Amino acid sequence: MSELDTNGRWRPIQIAPDECELELGRRRKTGILPWSFPCRRRSGVWFNAWADEAVLISPSHWRIWRFRRETRTHIYKDGANRSERTAPIPAPGFRAGLTIDFR
């Protein structure tokens, strides 16, 4: 386990490390809302790691970025549960030439 491993728990942004890909989030009434792209801090400024553009929203929490497939479960009118796999939504400015293998 790495020194930075947070076991999926959110940590306060004040203790976030520099120069590594992190999942950032912002506190909302319902909890921490995660951003859908990894970020990296350089010289005190947060950057979208995929687009290498500065992020203008201030995060409140962080955890280690782990690429993952998201699973959404839907409950249909017939009472059946069905799951579907979805990819994270790319951030504005995402470079369309980047290919991601979801296998």
Instruction: Dump pLDDT digits (tens) for 59-88.
Output: 999 999 986 544 444 455 555 555 444 445
Looking at residue 50, its pLDDT comes to 92
| DSSP 8-state code for residue 58 | P
Paired tokens of 93: 């400015």
Model-wide pTM > 0.75: no
Alpha carbon distances (Å) from 18 to 14, 21, 22, 45, 75: 11, 9, 9, 10, 41
Looking at residue 3, its pLDDT comes to 57
Average pLDDT, the chain: 75
Examine the pLDDT at 48 and tell me if it is beyond 60: yes
Q: Is there a contact between 88 and 37 (Cβ–Cβ < 8 Å)?
A: yes
Q: Is there a contact between 20 and 40 (Cβ–Cβ < 8 Å)?
A: yes
Residue-wise pLDDT for 28-46, tens only, equals: 998 999 998 999 999 899 9
